[in-house]
């Protein structure tokens, strides 16, 4: 900027400079007047002052120009910043939009995943349902393949009954829909009549007409309204009476349907309790499924209170569901266990009470009882249904006929160490094992394959055509189970003799060194339970159950699967002595026998002291941990006409 100012100096300054230069070049005058010299100096000063003023003016113009330039630069910078801010806002907006889009995409992806998951769950449920239906169809095919003419006739009759019941249900639904529509129309007619009456009353109120003419018009209007209302009420009463009769007849038919279904259910459950053949069991379970469905359908049409309906419906559904489970198990080649048979017996007992109550209700019901019941009033019928609801709440008791029966395998499957044999070798083995039964025919009927043991199944017949069902293990050819369908009618042998017979039988099939832990005389068959004994310790996982006919004195049933699965040598050492363990018994228990026992608990083996005790007027079996003295298990000994059992 200083250079620019230097360049812009005025011509006066240049002139002064030039004059000075010329003076310097001129030869110096020897003498100059003082006045001239002063005048010249003043002129120079004035010229210098003028030059300074011009320089200041130039500087001021330059500063103003610079200020203007700075202002312009600031405005330009502000514009740039404003543009940058707008650009930043646009960028942030784009970022927010992108985030929203991303969030939306994530939400859509999440919902899609949820839909896919629900679809997969639904697909899995449908697949499971298809598998269940396939199992039912397979069971039905198997049933149809093996059914006799009598069974076929019974099935056709039952299916016909189901079709009739379904048709009746559809007709009743159609009639109910018609009745609902009729009720709606009737209610609409009554409502419209009331509205017309209300409008007439409003018009009369607005007119407030005096004199005879107004009174006469009001009387005529009121009479007309009463006539219309009386007509509607009379027609409604007639229809209501018809509806009550129709509802009563429908309820009566439904009750008869319930009695019939309950009777069929009672018959099938009673037979299933004692059935041992797989084909017969499948037929009975199929009947139970059908009868339970008919029972549930009939129950939906009975106007009982919600609690009672729920109780009875829960029992019927439980029965049908359990029948479906057992049917699927039989379809896979399984057999019914003792626990499952006990459950069937429990279902039979509850249904038998339900059938008895229903039959008693239909027999002793008075004329007006059903109409009151249909009308929602309390009475004999509703009370009976309340009692039936309470009966279905009965819970089965956990009953066993010997300690730790049905516990299954508690460790490694010891049968796996044996070589596998063929079905023909198993048949020869079956003939050897039942040689003393005078078997004349042996028939291979298939295989039983479970998680624990695989067996060949055989049906044998002796000289009297008594059937014997036997299972021979694939590994080792051991007799795991057998049962006969032989009747025992007289008592010729006592429990002690039956014990000796059972021990001799076990010895003949290669099982020795056992101890009887439970003897029960149920009717004319002795039920005997044995365990293996090792160094004086009872090995409950190695349990064997024997049934001996007290008429003929021979073994008619055996279950040695626990013994075969768990038979091995063990190192058994008790931490507590008998006296130390006895001190840990609850005060009041009086032990009269004690043994060391290895018991199965939650898939493990626990060494315990087993005490048989008396307490007041009852008996108990108490198991204490042989190391810690902690109480592990307690059984209560119960006595009945069929023998002793544990609970």
Tell me how far apart the alpha carbons of residues 43 and 28 are, in angstroms, rounded to a whole number.
20
Q: Is residue 644 part of a domain?
A: yes
Tell me how far apart the alpha carbons of residues 193 and 232 are, in angstroms, rounded to a whole number.
9
Question: What average pLDDT does range 351-376 have in this prediction?
Answer: 62
Q: Contact at 8 Å (CB) between 334 and 450?
A: yes
pLDDT over threshold 70, residue 147: no
- Can you give the pLDDT at residue 231? 47
Q: Where are the extended beta strands (E) located within 463-561?
A: 467-473, 479-484, 514-522, 525-534, 537-549, 554-559
Tokens describing residue 535: 């160094």
pLDDT over threshold 90, residue 295: no
User: What is the band of 608 on the pLDDT scale with cuts at 50, 70, 90?
Assistant: very high
- Can you give the pLDDT at residue 594? 92
Question: What average pLDDT does range 326-355 have in this prediction?
Answer: 76
**Segment of 125-139, 154-168, 199-213 carrying the highest mean pLDDT:** 125-139
pLDDT over threshold 60, residue 191: yes
**Cα Rg of the chain (Å, integer):** 53
- Can you give the pLDDT at residue 233? 45
Residues 381 and 528 in one domain: no
User: What is the band of 209 on the pLDDT scale with cuts at 50, 70, 90?
Assistant: very low
User: What is the band of 412 on the pLDDT scale with cuts at 50, 70, 90?
Assistant: low
- Top pLDDT among 646 and 261 is at 261
Q: Contact at 8 Å (CB) between 447 and 640?
A: no
pLDDT over threshold 50, residue 297: yes
Residues 177 and 121 in one domain: no
Distances (CA, A) of 337 to 9, 147, 276, 332, 454: 127, 24, 11, 14, 16
Q: Contact at 8 Å (CB) between 408 and 397?
A: no
Low-confidence winner among 16-30, 190-204, 288-302, 326-340 (lowest mean pLDDT): 16-30
Residues 526 and 602 in one domain: no
Per cent of the chain over pLDDT 90 is 11
- Can you give the pLDDT at residue 156? 74
Residues 578 and 541 in one domain: no
pLDDT over threshold 90, residue 26: no
* Structural domain containing residue 39: 2-139
pLDDT over threshold 70, residue 266: yes
Pairing between β-strand 631-640 and β-strand 618-625 as defined by DSSP bridges: antiparallel
Residues 330 and 239 in one domain: yes
pTM across the whole model: 0.43
Residues 157 and 133 in one domain: no
Q: Is residue 402 part of a domain?
A: no
User: What is the band of 338 on the pLDDT scale with cuts at 50, 70, 90?
Assistant: low
Tokens describing residue 226: 């009463």
pLDDT digit string, tens, across residues 467-505: 888 999 998 899 989 988 677 888 889 889 999 999 999
CB atoms within 10 A of CB 467: 16
Pairing between β-strand 467-473 and β-strand 618-625 as defined by DSSP bridges: unpaired
pLDDT over threshold 90, residue 157: no
Spatial neighbors of 99 by CB under 8 A, at least 6 apart, are none
Residues 377 and 444 in one domain: no
Question: What average pLDDT does range 561-567 have in this prediction?
Answer: 85
Average pLDDT, the chain: 76
Q: Contact at 8 Å (CB) between 531 and 542?
A: yes
- Number of compact structural domains in the chain: 4
- Can you give the pLDDT at residue 244? 47
Residues 96 and 159 in one domain: no
Residues 169 and 291 in one domain: yes
User: What is the band of 237 on the pLDDT scale with cuts at 50, 70, 90?
Assistant: very low
Q: Is residue 461 part of a domain?
A: yes
CB-facing half-sphere around the CA of 262: CA atoms within 13 A:
27
Per cent of the chain over pLDDT 70 is 71
Q: Is residue 507 part of a domain?
A: yes
Spatial neighbors of 22 by CB under 8 A, at least 6 apart, are none
- Can you give the pLDDT at residue 623? 92
- Top pLDDT among 571 and 277 is at 571
User: What is the band of 555 on the pLDDT scale with cuts at 50, 70, 90?
Assistant: very high
Q: Is residue 397 part of a domain?
A: no
Residues 381 and 420 in one domain: no
Question: What average pLDDT does range 618-644 have in this prediction?
Answer: 81
pLDDT over threshold 70, residue 395: no
Tell me how far apart the alpha carbons of residues 316 and 318 are, in angstroms, rounded to a whole number.
5
Chain centroid to CA 28:
133
Return the SS3 of 629: coil
Q: Is residue 396 part of a domain?
A: no
Which of 566, 594, 620 finishes a domain? Answer: 566
Residues 436 and 532 in one domain: yes
pLDDT over threshold 50, residue 463: yes
pLDDT over threshold 70, residue 437: yes
pLDDT over threshold 70, residue 644: no
User: What is the band of 513 on the pLDDT scale with cuts at 50, 70, 90?
Assistant: confident
pLDDT over threshold 70, residue 217: no
Which of 521, 544, 566 finishes a domain? Answer: 566
- Top pLDDT among 629 and 416 is at 629
Question: What average pLDDT does range 302-308 have in this prediction?
Answer: 51
User: What is the band of 28 on the pLDDT scale with cuts at 50, 70, 90?
Assistant: low
């Amino acid at each position: 900027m200083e250079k620019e100012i230097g360049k812009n100096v005025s011509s006066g300054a240049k002139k002064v400079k030039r004059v000075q230069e010329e003076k310097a070049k001129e030869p110096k005058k020897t003498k100059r007047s003082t006045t001239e010299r002063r005048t010249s100096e003043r002129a120079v000063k004035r010229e210098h002052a003028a030059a300074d003023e011009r320089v200041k003016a130039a500087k001021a113009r330059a500063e103003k120009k610079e200020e203007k330039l700075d202002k312009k630069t600031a405005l330009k910078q502000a514009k740039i910043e404003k543009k940058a801010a707008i650009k930043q806002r646009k960028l942030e907006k784009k970022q927010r939009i992108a985030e929203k889009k991303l969030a939306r995409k994530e939400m859509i992806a999440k919902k899609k995943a949820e839909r896919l998951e629900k679809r997969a769950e639904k697909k899995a449920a449908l697949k499971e349902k298809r598998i269940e239906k396939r199992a039912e169809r397979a069971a039905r095919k198997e049933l149809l393949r093996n059914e006799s003419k009598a069974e076929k006739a019974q099935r056709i009759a039952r299916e016909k009954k189901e079709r009739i019941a379904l048709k009746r249900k559809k007709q009743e639904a159609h009639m109910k829909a018609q009745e609902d529509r009729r009720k709606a129309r009737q209610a609409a007619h009554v409502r419209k009549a009331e509205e017309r009456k209300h409008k007439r009353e409003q018009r009369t109120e607005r007119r407030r007409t005096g004199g005879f003419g107004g009174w006469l018009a009001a009387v005529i209007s009121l009479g007309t309204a009463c006539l219309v209302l009386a007509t509607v009420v009379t027609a409604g009463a007639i229809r209501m009476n018809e509806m009550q009769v129709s509802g009563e007849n429908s309820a009566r038919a439904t009750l008869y349907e319930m009695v019939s279904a309950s009777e069929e259910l009672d018959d099938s459950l009673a037979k299933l309790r004692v059935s041992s053949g797989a084909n017969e069991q499948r037929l009975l379970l199929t009947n139970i499924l059908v009868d339970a469905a008919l029972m549930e359908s009939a129950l939906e049409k009975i106007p009982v209170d919600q609690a009672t309906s729920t109780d009875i419906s829960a029992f019927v559904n439980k029965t049908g569901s359990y029948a479906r489970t057992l049917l699927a198990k039989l379809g896979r080649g399984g057999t019914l266990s003792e626990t499952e048979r006990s459950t069937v017996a429990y279902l039979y007992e509850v249904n038998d009470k339900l059938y008895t109550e229903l039959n008693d209700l239909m027999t002793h019901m008075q004329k007006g009882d059903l109409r009151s019941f249909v009308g929602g009033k309390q009475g004999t019928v509703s009370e009976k249904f309340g009692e039936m609801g309470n009966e279905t709440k009965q819970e089965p008791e956990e009953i066993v006929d010997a300690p730790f029966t049905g516990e299954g395998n508690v460790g490694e499957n010891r049968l796996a160490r044996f070589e596998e044999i063929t079905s023909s070798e198993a048949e020869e083995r079956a003939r050897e094992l039942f040689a003393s039964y005078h078997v004349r025919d042996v028939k291979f009927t298939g295989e039983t394959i479970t998680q624990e043991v695989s067996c060949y199944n055989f049906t044998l017949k002796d000289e009297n055509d008594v059937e014997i069902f036997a299972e021979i293990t694939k590994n080792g050819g051991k007799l795991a189970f057998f049962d006969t369908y032989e009747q025992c009618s007289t008592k010729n042998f006592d429990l002690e003799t039956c014990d000796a017979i059972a021990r001799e039988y076990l010895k003949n099939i290669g099982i020795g060194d056992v101890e009887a832990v439970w003897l029960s005389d149920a009717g004319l068959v002795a039920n005997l339970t044995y365990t293996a004994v090792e160094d004086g310790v009872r090995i409950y996982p190695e349990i064997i159950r024997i049934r001996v006919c007290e008429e003929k004195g021979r073994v008619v049933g055996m279950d040695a699967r626990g013994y075969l699965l768990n038979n091995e040598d063990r190192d058994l050492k008790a931490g507590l002595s008998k006296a130390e363990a006895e001190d840990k018994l609850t005060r009041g228990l009086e032990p009269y026998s004690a043994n060391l026992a290895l018991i199965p608990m939650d898939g493990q083996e626990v060494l315990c002291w087993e005490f048989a005790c008396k307490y007041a007027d009852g008996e108990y079996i108490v198991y204490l941990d042989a190391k810690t003295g902690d109480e592990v298990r307690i059984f209560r000994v119960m006595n009945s006409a069929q023998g002793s059992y544990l609970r």
